[in-house]
Structure 1
Amino acid sequence: MKLSALKVDADKIEAGEWVGDIPEMGDLRLRVRGLQNAGYRRLQSRLIDAVPRSKKQGGRVDPDELDRITSTCLASTVLLDWAGLEDEGGAPLPYSKETATEFLTNPAFRRFRDAVLYAATVVGDAGAETEKADAGN
């Protein structure tokens, strides 16, 4: 493995970028920050600390609580915009923080949440960009 495959672009993780070609999401594009941006880490830490002891078994946070925390962090610090998302009538659905929060916290929209997680994971992945460039040569 080349050393360059281990690098990340910290500036992109913090500023965010558009991600397309999300598996099984058609033309959906998401503008997201990287999953481990500074705001995400701070909010995640604060929310985990606030979990009551009754929902921490053996020092581990209940999986449902972890899902809630992850969804809150994605809505608050990761997802910035979208393109290619339509309502049932085919009209473009404009991005809003409120709609994003609904989609990310509603279990019925788990596929959307997974798409945001995927996009946030690839943002700033300098190693993946190097591999793509190498494949093109």
Structure 2
Amino acid sequence: MDLAKIKEAGARIRTGAWVKDIPVAGFRGVALRVRGTSNPDLRKLRETLVAAAVTEVAGPLPPEKLTAINDRLITETILQDWNITDAGARVPCTPEKVAEFLADPDLGILLREAVSWASDQVAEKGLAELEAAAGN
């Protein structure tokens, strides 16, 4: 593979790209701008959060603690923007709104899956292909 293509994939992981046609219920028409799950900010925050959680809990981390850590990672280091609307009005992608959506038992489970899928795609596909698919 050409070195330029490898560097391009690394840049997408680090800076993000738009991803559309997400195969998660309700997300077919949604575009998400996400960074890859191996971006440096995610790794740094994950290390900090896991280290803090391990000192609080004896034994394996409970699922709710892992979910809380993953939600912070999504909010602070992966999800950058979206094209979600509510009754025709654009919903701004703010950390508060992302946290609100993740806390919703019906929406949160789908948003987590959509962000996870989209962030995996950022490294796999070329930026031009992703942005063309997202209509940007």
TM over 0.5: yes
Between structure 1 and structure 2, the one with the greater Rg is 1
Aligned: 1:107 with 2:109: no
Measure the CA separation in 2 of the matches of 1:56 and 1:71: 22
Distance 1:106 1:43, change over 3 A: farther
Distance 1:52 1:35, change over 3 A: closer
1:122 counterpart letter in structure 2: Q
112-121 vs 96-105, which moves further:
96-105
Query: Tell me, what secondary structure is at the counterpart of 1:61?
Result: coil
Structure 1 partner of 2:121: 122
1:44-63 matches, cutoff 5 A: 44-53=46-55, 55-57=57-59, 60-63=60-63
How many matched pairs?
120
Structure 2 partner of 1:36: 38
What TM-score results when the alignment is normalised by the length of structure 1?
Answer: 0.76
CA shift at 1:53, angstroms?
4.5
1:1-137 matches, cutoff 5 A: 9-23=9-23, 24=25, 25-53=27-55, 55-57=57-59, 60-83=60-83, 85-87=84-86, 89-109=87-107, 110-126=109-125
2:51 counterpart letter in structure 1: D
- How large is the RMSD of aligned CA atoms in angstroms? 2.3
Query: Tell me, what secondary structure is at the counterpart of 1:95?
Result: coil
Query: Tell me, what secondary structure is at the counterpart of 2:85?
Result: coil
Q: How high is the sequence identity, in percent, across the aligned residues?
A: 32
Unaligned runs of 5+ in 1: 133-137
What TM-score results when the alignment is normalised by the length of structure 2?
Answer: 0.77
CA shift at 1:37, angstroms?
0.6
Unaligned runs of 5+ in 2: 130-136
